[in-house]
Amino acid sequence: MSGSETILRIAAKGDGVTASGAHHKGTATGDTVLVDGTIERGDHYQKPPCKHFINCGGCALQHVDDNELLNFVTERVVNAAEGQGIAPKTLLPTHLSPPKSRRRATLHGTRLQRGKRGSAQLGFKQSGSHNIVDINECHIMRPELFALVAPLRAFLAKHGNKRGIDIDLALTDQGVDCAIKNIELDGLEATEAVLDFARDEGLARLSLDMGYGAEAMWEPEPVTITLSGVAVPFPSGAFLQATQDAQEKLASDAAQVLAGAGRVADLFAGLGTFGFALSGGSEAVAVEAARDAHLACKSAAARGQRNVTAVHRDLFRNPLQADELKNFDAALLDPPRAGAREQVAAIAESDLKRLVYISCNPASWARDAKRLVDAGFTLEQMRPVGQFRWSTHVELFSYFTR
């Protein structure tokens, strides 16, 4: 580098980028990289709120202010669309979830030493590494989840192993659902300790996977998650939007643009996150491959007397075809990160006129969006969503018509 350079943008993986294309980790737009490599901070740099930042892989962008974070989320989505020659008629304001709003998280732990002076590590993994960052603060998780970190660490010190343990936490209607994987319990004393831990911490459910699948050890009452006013049974490990506020924003957007649609195909429906939101004014046919999620949606719809019909079907192997889509006024897609190539191809070949596409991967969404636009669809609306705050993970809402 012959002279100082200014950081012009934040790249997809969180590095600051200069005009020459050089990447600099931990920089914000407006920072200046001097000839000797030192950084002069600009207006968009902020002191990271968490002392674990940089080491902990849970966050990548705590060093940028909210304006810069909003720009990052927005540009990730807009640039993905522009890369395919697509622009929305209306770009809705970017939604950014607040700190300490994440209601699900996966922690990693390992026992270091056993016995009276036993110790353990518990936290997120270091970025690009299998090393565990032992956390004692967190600015992304809901307080109800973080409150379990210290008790879980103490539990692992007594009953964990050195091979590594994964712990899935989710905040449900009844409290925290805790699922521990790769744990080994030996004898009655260890089993009783598990039950005592669940009772003492007021868990909604505690499941253990000792190599043969998850088994609920503690569940005082059936665990549910409320979706658009409907209490839906929550299978251990089921997909859940990361934050309540983002779920409500996405569901509200979908319900607004699909108002008046008599029958809507809710594809990759999961527990019915969007199907129940649409059921107030439409008949929603919720199509899902995961059997536990399908059955949960089906039972909740029947019990709540909501206009949702649950269908068990693998849309990757057996997408709804053009002739089947004739029976619907609109469709909603919320596929996994890989997108929905085959289902989108079938929609493109159908007569469907209205489509909501919610995505957790702007790259796969852009590929599918190009197929839709080539088939005559117009991108009416798009909203970038940053529910994984301070992460490079970005989601979006989009609405197509033709």
- Three-state SS across the chain? CCCCEECCEECCCCCEECCCCCEECCCCCCCEECCCCCEECCCCECCCCCCCCCCECCCCCCCECHHHHHHHHHHHHHHHHHCCCCCCCEECCCEECCCCCECEEEEEEEEEECCCCCEEEEEEEECCCCCEEECCCCCCECHHHHCCHHHHHHHHHHHCCCCCEEEEEEEECCEEEEEEECCCCCCHHHHHHHHHHHHHCCCCEEEEECCCCEEEEECCCCCEEEECCEEEECCCCCCCCCCHHHHHHHHHHHHHHCCCCCEEEEECCCCCCCHHHHCCCCEEEEEECCHHHHHHHHHHHHHHCCCEEEEECCCCCCCCCHHHHCCCCEEEECCCCCCCHHHHHHHHHCCCCEEEEEECCHHHHHHHHHHHHHCCCEEEEEEEEECCCCCCCCEEEEEEEC
Of 56, 59, 138, 360, the active-site residue reads 360
* Residue 297 is among the residues annotated as catalytic for this protein: no
Residue numbers annotated as active site: 360
